A and B are shown apart, each in its own frame.
Chain A
Amino acid sequence: EAGVAQSPRYKIIEKRQSVAFWCNPISGHATLYWYQQILGQGPKLLIQFQNNGVVDDSQLPKDRFSAERLKGVDSTLKIQPAKLEDSAVYLCASSLGDQPQHFGDGTRLSIL
């Protein structure tokens, strides 16, 4: 079974620029998650989708972050404008029912 695919793997931008990440979950997984992981910390949930509806976005900084999951499959996460503190790894995960989440390898974002 193919895993969760994320792109790009690395991204370097200057502060105040915009950036977008893409995620393709495992086929058939209804639930999709975006996490932010700062170095030395555990992942922090940004947003959770069930099919193409948002289940939890309580920790998403909505003034600069946005996410969508068109047709309940692929998803994109956007940051506009980026701040220095957004430097982190952005992980996408998917799951089926109450089974453990499967993670992609993430996008490492560096803000200059």
Chain B
Amino acid sequence: KNQVEQSPQSLIILEGKNCTLQCNYTVSPFSNLRWYKQDTGRGPVSLTIMTFSENTKSNGRYTATLDADTKQSSLHITASQLSDSASYICVVSAMSNYQLIWGAGTKLIIKP
């Protein structure tokens, strides 16, 4: 069964610190993996998208990595800011039908 699991479920860090969010998937055959940021009360916004051949992609202070062999991805946030407080959702696309499999997200809280 195609699944996407994220950890931790929630995370609290101090402003200025770095953090890493994890995503494990069992989707096969794999097409691409996306990370979305969802602020409270807003729709998700795309941060990065990676295909099989890409193992790292950056978007400002956000860096996503992909290990297609172990079916793992991570999202690293550098020098966190209060505005980074949000839910971060990992989404994997299956090549067979391009269906998007959504994770439950990691709720990140940045404290001053």
Contacts and interface: CB of A to CB of B under 8 A. Distances in A.
Interface in A3-42: 4, 40-42
Interface string B71-112: 000000000000000000101000000111011110000000
A100 B46 contact: yes
A103 B43 contact: yes
A109 B99 CA distance: 26
B43 A104 contact: yes
A16 B100 CA distance: 31
B19 interface: no
A45, A101, A108: most-surrounded residue (chain B CB, <10 A): A101
A100 B42 contact: no
B105 A4 contact: no
A79 interface: no
Interface string B19-57: 000000000000000100000011111100100000000
A4 B89 contact: no
Contacts of A103: 43-45
B52 to A, nearest CB: 14
Please list the 7 inter-chain residue pairs (A to B) with the smallest Cβ-Cβ separation, ordered nearest first: A103-B43, A42-B102, A100-B46, A42-B104, A105-B42, A105-B43, A103-B44
Given A43-B44, A102-B46, 4 more contacts: A41-B104, A91-B43, A101-B46, A105-B43
